[in-house]
Each structure stands twice: as structure tokens, then as C-alpha cells.
């Protein structure tokens, strides 16, 4: 599905607000409203976020390399709705064809040092 960064950010902010309102309704024990908001969140996910292009990327945070399946909007990558830019701590973000078992094993073997 084709989209723009502006549309993506608008829908991301809407999902964030819906989730916040659902949590507030749950805290106030207003379960009918919380249930309705949950349905709206699921609908937004199924009609928009689930249809966005997912790609595999290699990136670094600090001196460690990571591999992850992320959302691609235009020429930008988003990990859990967060833009993967140097300002957010990501560097050397490169699209790759597939995440292999060896790559996953390297990430896990390196993780015990931190």
C-alpha cells in the first residue's frame, strides 16, 4: 500500500491517542468505552498499518548490529512507529533481502556482553 510520511505520522498519532483513551477508560472502569476503543484500534491496524510495506533491514545502534523487519514509507524506515534516523540513534540503516538464522544467532551471541 502506498502512503506518505505525513499520512503515516497522522495515523500513528491517532493510534497513540486511541490507545491512551482506552487506557484511561480502563482505569476509570468504563469497560464499554474501552471495548469500543479497542475495536477502533484493531480496525485502524487492519485497514492501514497491516497493509504497509514491510522490509528487512540491517542497522546499528552504538557498536552493535541488529536485523529487523520494519515498515517502509517512501524511502524512510520505521521501527514500531519510530523513524529510524541518526537523530533517534539508528545509523547505517540498509535494506536487505532476508534475515538469516546466522544473523539472528550473531545478534543473540553478542547480546550476553551487554
Residues 36 and 85 in one domain: no
Give the CA distances from residue 17 to residues 6, 33, 68, 98, 108, in Å, rounded to whole numbers and listed in that order: 17, 14, 26, 34, 34
Q: Which of 35, 51, 67 is the last residue of a domain?
A: 51
Residues 47 and 58 in one domain: no
Residues 58 and 103 in one domain: yes
Total number of domains constituting the chain: 2
What is the extent of the structural domain holding 73?
54-111
pLDDT band at 36 (very low <50, low <70, confident <90, very high): very high
pLDDT of residue 84: 94
Mean pLDDT of the chain: 91
Instruction: Say if CB 95 and CB 71 are below 8 A apart.
Output: no
Query: Is 90 exceeded by the pLDDT of residue 29?
Result: yes
Residues 6+ apart with CB under 8 A from 59: 65, 66, 68, 84, 90, 91, 92, 93, 94
Amino acid at each position: 500500500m502506498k502512503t506518505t510520511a505525513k499520512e503515516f505520522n497522522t495515523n500513528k498519532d491517532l493510534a497513540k491517542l486511541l490507545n491512551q483513551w482506552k487506557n484511561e477508560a480502563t482505569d476509570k472502569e468504563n469497560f464499554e468505552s474501552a471495548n469500543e476503543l479497542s475495536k477502533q484500534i484493531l480496525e485502524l491496524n487492519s485497514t492501514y498499518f497491516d497493509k504497509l510495506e514491510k522490509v528487512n533491514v540491517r542497522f546499528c545502534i552504538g557498536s552493535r548490529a541488529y536485523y529487523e523487519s520494519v515498515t517502509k514509507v517512501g524511502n524512510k524506515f520505521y521501527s514500531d512507529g519510530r523513524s529510524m534516523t541518526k537523530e533517534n540513534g539508528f545509523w547505517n540503516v540498509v535494506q536487505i533481502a532476508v534475515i538469516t538464522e546466522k544473523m539472528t544467532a550473531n545478534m543473540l551471541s553478542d547480546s550476553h556482553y551487554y
